[in-house]
Amino acid sequence: MNVLVTGSGGQLGTDIVPILLDTGFSITGLPSKALDITDEAKTLEAVLSVKPKVIINCAAYTAVDKAEIEKEKAFKVNRDGARNLAGAAKKAGAFIVHVSTDFVFDGLKATPYAETDVTHPLGVYGESKLAGEAAVQESGARYAIVRTSWLYGHTGNNFVKTIIRLATEKDSIRVVYDQTGSPTWTKELAKALKAFALAEAKGNSIEGIYHFSNEGVASWYDFAVMIIEEARLCGAPIKCGKVEPILTSGYPTPAKRPPYSVLDKEKIKKALGIAIPHWRASLGAMMTELYGGKRA
């Protein structure tokens, strides 16, 4: 079975391609520099050339704050690119797995968000990703949309790498404590996306919207404290001796963030028969890998 991964050079894409290799499938990874999904003709040409049975779309515009001033660019990638790829999937008879985000919600709920909950994005990034979801659904292609949250991994810019950098440079740092979610290692999400490909290969019915994140709940403050602890255990030259919790109002950003974005994962666990690790376990595993297996 042929599997095409778009955005394979990004934070998530670089994890999923190696994870798919042991399936026995033929894997084609196309980074954004090799395939610009905003180009409809080239996207169709690439898809028809690969002839995939499954397309996993990891290509996205993810600069949450910059999106507020680059709305056209965000929508071009997250909406139009998704439409182009899903349209190509339809013509090729492929099943498309499209990655979306917790930012489609406003965060005003007090219990984990289910797939059926009303969406209400607070900023351009969330709006563009929600528009991308609609484009995939309207394409006529068979699809799974997988919303996730608080992604971090070995590559790209993310919260974990930022906190490590700051903690090696500063005596103290300030981190927001009134935003709550579930940190998610890209490798765990990649395993879930692999499960969709395996299910499709077996002919299982897996169409629809799903939520995936690591188990457990944390504030950004909680997450930062654990990152620093793990970095110390792995031998990082940590200078920071104090993490100060602050309110969102004390750290204004161009884009509003949902104050609560915990996702209900019962649907995906039942559909794919997967177990999901707690975020602390995944963070520890990721940090151990990052530091070459060193751990106190």
Separation between Cα atoms, residue 60 and residue 148, nearest integer Å: 13
Helix/strand/coil for 20 = helix
Separation between Cα atoms, residue 148 and residue 207, nearest integer Å: 17
3-state percent breakdown (helix, strand, coil) of the chain, nearest 5: 45, 20, 40
- Tokens encoding 88: 């190509």
Separation between Cα atoms, residue 159 and residue 179, nearest integer Å: 14
CB 28 within 8 A of CB 5: yes
Q: Using alpha carbons, select from 101, 81, 55 the residue that is nearest to residue 258.
A: 101
Strands 172-176 and 142-148: unpaired
CB contact set of 2 (below 8 Å; sequence gap of 6+): 25, 26, 28, 50, 51, 52, 53, 54
pTM: 0.96
Can you give the pLDDT at residue 26? 95
Can you give the pLDDT at residue 259? 96
- Tokens encoding 9: 């050079």
Can you give the pLDDT at residue 295? 65
How do the domains of the chain map onto residue ranges?
2-157+182-216+258-277
Q: How far is CA 180 from the centre of its chain?
A: 16
Provide the terminal-to-terminal Cα distance of the chain, rounded to the nearest Å. Answer: 43
Out of 113, 125, 152, 210, which one is annotated catalytic?
A: 125
CB 55 within 8 A of CB 73: no
Check if 251 is active-site.
no
pLDDT tens for each residue of the chain, 296 residues long: 999 999 999 999 999 999 999 999 999 999 999 999 999 999 999 999 999 999 999 999 999 999 999 999 999 999 999 999 999 999 999 999 999 999 999 999 999 999 999 999 999 999 999 999 999 999 999 999 999 999 999 888 899 999 999 999 999 999 999 999 999 999 999 999 999 999 999 998 899 999 999 999 999 999 999 999 999 999 999 999 999 999 999 888 999 999 999 999 999 999 999 999 999 999 999 999 988 876 65
Can you give the pLDDT at residue 296? 59
Q: Which CATH superfamily is domain 2-157+182-216+258-277 in?
A: NAD(P)-binding Rossmann-like Domain (3.40.50.720)
CB 284 within 8 A of CB 214: no
